[in-house]
Structure 1
């Protein structure tokens, strides 16, 4: 028997659905474009992170090189300070104070103009040190904005090293946890595959605080890599912040 009322209800619901289809399609396109914009923003953020990190490495390399030269130079004037202060930043501060020599074994024939040039170099190094700190803060802010979840799990340095090795944020987000675990251990992995050496269990993750303290470093590195694999995908697709939850899961598993 033909059920007219049931048929009309179904027909009406189909018509309502058909009427809503353009709205659904419009909404789908809107969210698709929003996702694309987020991914483009994340990719650009990843590039800024990489450029900042590489710049910091170059600046720190320059600082160490210039400090070495200044130490060699200043040792002729005031060798005691050069030997006593091993920290470069403290050494620069001491040179800028221009301490007066009383019982120093330094060369007596060094003129004031020579000392002034040493101080001038120290000032340039101090400027680099100050800029290095400023750039590190900028990098920290970038990581907080574009990789907040991974930053919580891996820390600033390891996150940057992994990004650098992967090439960009997209590549890192596409990597499985097993690959992330071995990032930074490429040479050891090559020896293992070509010469049959011992298989590496971690790369950059060796520098992670939890791995350092762990008795079973390989297991801990695997656990952290699993969570980084999740966190970096969430960061890349601009998902919600779950870093603290992932961190608690790691700590719970390690108890």
Structure 2
């Protein structure tokens, strides 16, 4: 002989239980709430109960559900003894839900910790990248200063071009002052600089080419940081921008500091 079946509603949903064991369960969804409040059950759940437990009597502690469900299933209002069993099952459900919530909370904390540690590892990449950018800036400034001083022997008037990168590109592209574009030719013709052998100018152009490569490398690192910082430290990145965020991380020694 089967032990009795109990239909029990909780805040989590509706379930059919036997001896405290959940046999069938429907998670409570927003679309089900109006029906349940009226003492009704979703029809698909009723059909599933009928299919699974056809002919078995089901004990229910809600008179409204009994009245409505009796048109579909063999149901009965729970007696006092049955109510004690239903309360026991509800306590068990509550305990299981509390345990589940504890497990879920621990899982969430562990996941957050893994993300935090992963981010902490990633912030080391950010620190190295921004320090590489700063090293490149120092190298570029030093080499541009050397190139300006050197090339000024040939075309000192070009120092009026204040933008370092533009200055470097002009030397790399033209070298000899007489080959500069028209906007510079008038100045070039009256330049106070000395004439130079092609091989001397070629060495300067080669240096300019290397400096330009450093500029491209810097651009790649900046792009890398602009992509990485929002993923590792999104709030800080939004607040101060990717590069400054990276420098702050570098100064602090990492996100955890």
In structure 2, how many angstroms separate the alpha carbons of the residues matched to 1:104 and 1:28? 76
The partner residue of 2:134 within 40, 57, 60 is 57
In structure 2, the partner of 1:160 is 246
CA-based RMSD: 2.1
- Bigger helix fraction: 1
In structure 2, how many angstroms separate the alpha carbons of the residues matched to 1:8 and 1:29? 31
Q: Is the 8 A contact 2:133 2:218 kept in 1?
A: yes
The partner residue of 2:167 within 88, 91, 100 is 91
Structure 1: runs of 5+ lacking an equivalent = 172-255
The partner residue of 1:74 within 151, 157, 160 is 151
Q: Structure 2 length as normaliser, TM-score?
A: 0.59
The partner residue of 2:209 within 118, 123, 126 is 123
Q: 5 Å matches for 1:1-255?
A: 4=81, 6-20=83-97, 23-24=100-101, 26-82=103-159, 84-98=160-174, 99-100=177-178, 101-108=188-195, 110-171=196-257
Structure 2: runs of 5+ lacking an equivalent = 1-79, 179-187
Q: Structure 1 length as normaliser, TM-score?
A: 0.59
Query: Which has the bigger relative contact order, CA under 8 A and spacing at least 6?
Result: 1
Q: Deviations over 1:107-141 (max 9, x none)?
A: 13x21111100000000000001111111111111
In structure 2, how many angstroms separate the alpha carbons of the residues matched to 1:156 and 1:25? 37
- Bigger strand fraction: 2
Larger mean Cα displacement after TM superposition, 51-60 or 17-26: 17-26
